[in-house]
């Protein structure tokens, strides 16, 4: 079933893909908003533990490859910001 979902996403038009991402973000936000403080902290802890375990299994080559991918993603995200959003990011970073 995961392969079918991946294939559907790959076949989607850019507009449809963006719509799907937006819906997924909304679902995630609604789910997070319904969590209690304790449950939210538990979810963050589990996510950190999963990430740490995944990173621990990577080879140095895979680590560098992941860093490169992360840099590309962040550059694309920064490039898509409007001037107003850039200013907001700068304000938050201070």
What pLDDT does 58 receive? Answer: 94
Say how far apart CA 44 and CA 52 lie, in whole Å: 12
Query: Which residue, 20, 22, 23, is CA-closest to 8?
Result: 20
Question: What's the pTM?
Answer: 0.48
Q: Are 18 and 26 in contact (CB under 8 A)?
A: no
pLDDT in tens, the chain (94 residues): 667 877 877 787 888 888 988 999 999 999 999 999 999 999 999 999 999 999 999 999 999 999 999 999 999 999 999 999 999 989 988 7
Domains in the chain: how many in total?
Answer: 1
Q: Which domain holds residue 54?
A: 2-93
């Amino acid at each position: 079933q995961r392969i079918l979902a991946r294939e559907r996403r790959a076949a989607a038009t850019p507009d449809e893909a963006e719509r799907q991402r937006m819906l997924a973000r909304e679902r995630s936000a609604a789910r997070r908003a319904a969590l209690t403080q304790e449950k939210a902290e538990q979810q963050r802890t589990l996510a950190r533990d999963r990430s740490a375990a995944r990173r621990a299994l990577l080879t140095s080559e895979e680590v560098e490859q992941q860093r490169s991918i992360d840099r590309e993603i962040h550059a694309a995200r920064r490039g898509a910001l409007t001037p107003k959003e850039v200013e907001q990011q700068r304000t938050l970073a201070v």
